Amino acid sequence: MTADALIVGAGIVGAACAAELAARGMQVEVLDMHGIGGGATAAGMGHIVVMNDSPAEFALSAYSRDLWLELAPQLRTRDAFSRCGTLWVATDDEEWQAACAMHDAFVAQGIAAQLLDSAVLRACEPALAPGMAGGLRIEHDSIVYAPTAAEWLLTQSPAATNIRVRLATEVAAVDAHGVMLVNGERKQAAYVIVANGTGAQKLVPSLPLQPKKGHLLITDRYPGLIRHQLLELGYIKSAHHAVGTSVAFNAQPRPTGQLLIGSSRQFDTTDPSVEMPVLAQMLQRAARYLPALPSLNGIRAWTGFRAATPDGLPLIGRMGRMSDAAADLWVAAGHEGLGVTTSLATAKLLASQITGDAAPIPCEPYLPQRFAQSVCHA
């Protein structure tokens, strides 16, 4: 098969881009030095959430969540899709006021959301610590097991026959017309798309990406202990810290009955080792919300690296002025902690730019060229 498009990266973003381009009739080849759904895709929580830190973040995440809800009936049991909803937990009146403002903003934009007072929150999630001020439920937020969802997109989606996947294939260099593999093989295509997360900067040094380390822990099986994905209202502040180490409570009920506990963020390290002081800080934070947590059996902890941009929005589109040498190179990276959530929308935006079709939402906030000026003056 001669490829129309070469995609570097077989994580959830690369897989979604491959499936979308294949659905538009392109022959697509996906290259990855590891396996399907590795990297941040395997390390993350797999949440599918609407976030509204900025209008652009809201537009991308809300549109993409709708795409996931449309896709969900086609997924397999092993993909572990669950519309469990998100419950943002307010500990005090200040956070309750923030929840109310968040509720009004969501409802004004057509997102189903319900405020829960303290008593209703307690009845809804009895495992939460008593005395919480209330909560905000976003009922259609979901979770998925992203590594197998990526595999489904590449091998089972409707146009998967147009996709070829080459694993254990490391790319040494990229340009607008092809890639050079470490074994010296040159592969050419009309479109080259870099979608390998934190690895993108190694191939395209001008990309404004920074690795953001995170820890997660999964427990043994405790079915029914929690019913929603639970997040503290402080999670939004933590998610956008640009320096140092921060933790925030995030607990997710997996379809297996296990609990996935997060989260941490570190900018000052590229060491993939689990750091016990950070893990302890994260779990202590979580125990403030789930008092039963210290009595549960944690069976595995791990880390991963999110690819973060300076403004918290992904890079989706043609490099353009970002690179004189590779202006026609395409990028889909920098999704930080929302790669799974926004993967399907990313694919739609990228494909619409490549094919010249009308974009479903404005592309401008996510174009790599928005950083061209700062790169030129660096």
Q: Which pLDDT value is given to residue 326?
A: 75
The alpha carbons of the chain give a radius of gyration, in whole angstroms, of: 20
CA dist., res. 248 & res. 236, Å (int): 9
Condensed to tens digits (0 to 9), the pLDDT of residues 277-310 reads 999 999 999 999 999 999 999 999 999 999 999 9
**What mean pLDDT do residues 206-221 have?**
96
In 268-352, which ranges are E strands?
298-308, 315-318, 330-333
Amino acid making up residue 175 = D
| 121 plus 270 within the same structural domain | yes
Does any domain span residue 256?
Answer: yes
| 133 plus 220 within the same structural domain | yes
Query: How many domains does one find in the chain?
Result: 2
92: Cα separation from own chain's centroid: 29
Contacts of 62 (CB under 8 A, 6+ apart): 50, 109, 111
Q: Are 210 and 216 in contact (CB under 8 A)?
A: no
Query: What confidence category does residue 236 fall into, taking pLDDT thresholds of 50, 70 and 90?
Result: low
| 191 plus 231 within the same structural domain | no
Condensed to tens digits (0 to 9), the pLDDT of residues 361-370 reads 999 999 999 9
Full domain range(s) for residue 217: 84-141+210-308
What CATH number is associated with residue 27? 3.50.50.60
Does any domain span residue 74?
Answer: no
Q: Which pLDDT value is given to residue 259?
A: 98
352: Cα separation from own chain's centroid: 21
Condensed to tens digits (0 to 9), the pLDDT of residues 325-348 reads 678 999 999 999 999 999 999 999
Domain's final residue, options 308, 324, 347: 308
| 154 plus 266 within the same structural domain | no
| 194 plus 216 within the same structural domain | no
